[in-house]
Amino acid sequence: MNFELSDEQQMLVDMARQFAAQTVAPGAEHRDQTSSFPSDLIGPLAEQGFLGMLVPESDGGSEMGYVNYALALAEIAQACASTAVTMAVNNLTASAIATYASQELRAEVLPSLCDGRDGKVGAFALSEPHCGSDAAALKTRADRDGEDYILNGSKQWITNGAFASWVLVMARTGEGSRGISAFAVPGDAPGLIIGPEEKKMGLKGSNTVPLTLENVRVPARYRVGDEGIGFQIAMNALDGGRIGIGSQALGIGRAALREAARYMEERKAFGKPLNRHQALQFMVADIGTDLEATRLLMLKAASLRDQGKPMTQEASMCKVYASEACCRAVDSALQIHGGYGYVQDYAIERLYRDARVTRIYEGTSEIQRVVISRNVLKGAS
């Protein structure tokens, strides 16, 4: 057992931290205030190799694996949670395609997802207006028509949807969870209608839209893997995706901790700086412990994933703990700021809003608990 980062991993963290501070952090507040997608950051993220971290080099990726991915993503999230989710969804989509798609399809799709061509990214379309966590209930259909499939249906909460070069769409080719298949759909496919942008509480720099598929015709070679394995692809992608959200939550939590520490140094009450008041020190101690726990859960899940070992339970533990720890962290950090935490002059207000979604997307906290309880009950004697 060894918990320390290797020299290479530490170098990556340092590089990502510097990139995040210099390139990502400066526009974070503006993107939040104006709900602007970080189009200008897609190229620089690609240059760092951060868009195809889970894609083999032979497919155009940087093939850095989940541990490095989680470490880098946390650094980006500490600077801007919106940019982090944009990056995470691109990696998640590219990883699923790299794992399951044919050689021919990988060659067609992955280079553009890895190099962020035209400031565009990948999107992952599983949820629908009537179903999120209960993914097997999806209704979008893919009907075979000669050499093509014709897709019809509605997808909801699609991150990166309006800026997608490719959308990985889960659609029904049969009954039940084994009747779901995955398709790579070009972002500009005729019939793929991008709905109005959601007015979200946080992550306002990221793009979230509903997508409507109206007789979207894609060639059969755009099917990712065999017919009927779409649910498996989605669940596998979500296991990996949960590490990503854990990592994002860690980054937001760290940013909150840093904001709190700064404020506690400058603000005085009763003749001494806030950081000399024990009630606030103890809040910081709990945030710090929670974040260290989060970091270890994240690294364990990522490390298992890199070794190809089962990690569904670990991914769920990482995701539920990370997101809830993050929400506790932003709440305490906002409390430490007092009234100033409630206005937009300080970054904690944005962090508080950004944090909340981590308990919802990529499987709600409740879904994670369903997964974990099922697993631990299996271990009973």
- In whole angstroms, the minimum distance from the beta carbon of 314 to another protein comes to 8
For residues 312 and 334, is the Cβ–Cβ distance under 8 A?
A: no
In degrees, to the nearest 5, what angle opens at C-alpha 20 toward C-alphas 168 and 38? 45
- In whole angstroms, the minimum distance from the beta carbon of 300 to another protein comes to 5
DSSP H or E stretch at residue 135:
none
Instruction: Give the list of residues 6+ apart from residue 269 with CB closer than 8 angstroms, or none.
Output: 277
CB atoms within 10 A of CB 104: 9
The nearer residue to another protein, 204 or 300, going by C-beta atoms, is 300
The nearer residue to another protein, 187 or 341, going by C-beta atoms, is 341
The nearer residue to another protein, 3 or 270, going by C-beta atoms, is 3
Please state the length of the chain. 381
The nearer residue to another protein, 67 or 126, going by C-beta atoms, is 67
- In whole angstroms, the minimum distance from the beta carbon of 328 to another protein comes to 13
What single-letter DSSP state applies at residue 143? E
Choosing from 4, 47, 362, 366, the catalytic residue is 362
Full DSSP string of 213-235: EEEEEEEGGGEESSTT-HHHHHH
Residues that bind another protein (CB under 8 A): 1-6, 9, 67, 254, 257-258, 260-262, 264-265, 275, 278, 281-282, 284-289, 292-293, 296-297, 299-300, 303-304, 314, 317, 320-321, 366, 368-370, 372-374, 376-377, 379-381
What is the number of alpha carbons within 13 Å of residue 147 lying toward its C-beta? 2
- In whole angstroms, the minimum distance from the beta carbon of 29 to another protein comes to 20
Full DSSP string of 158-224: EETGGGEEEEEEEEESSSSGGGEEEEEEETT-TTEEE-PPP--SS-TTS-EEEEEEEEEEEEGGGEE
Residue 96 burial by CB count (10 A; 0-12/13-18/19+): exposed, middle or buried?
buried
Cα–Cα dist 126/309, whole Å:
25
- In whole angstroms, the minimum distance from the beta carbon of 334 to another protein comes to 16
The nearer residue to another protein, 9 or 232, going by C-beta atoms, is 9
362 is catalytic: yes
Cα–Cα dist 372/90, whole Å:
27
Instruction: Give the list of residues 6+ apart from residue 117 with CB closer than 8 angstroms, or none.
Output: 111, 165
The nearer residue to another protein, 67 or 138, going by C-beta atoms, is 67
Catalytic residues: 362
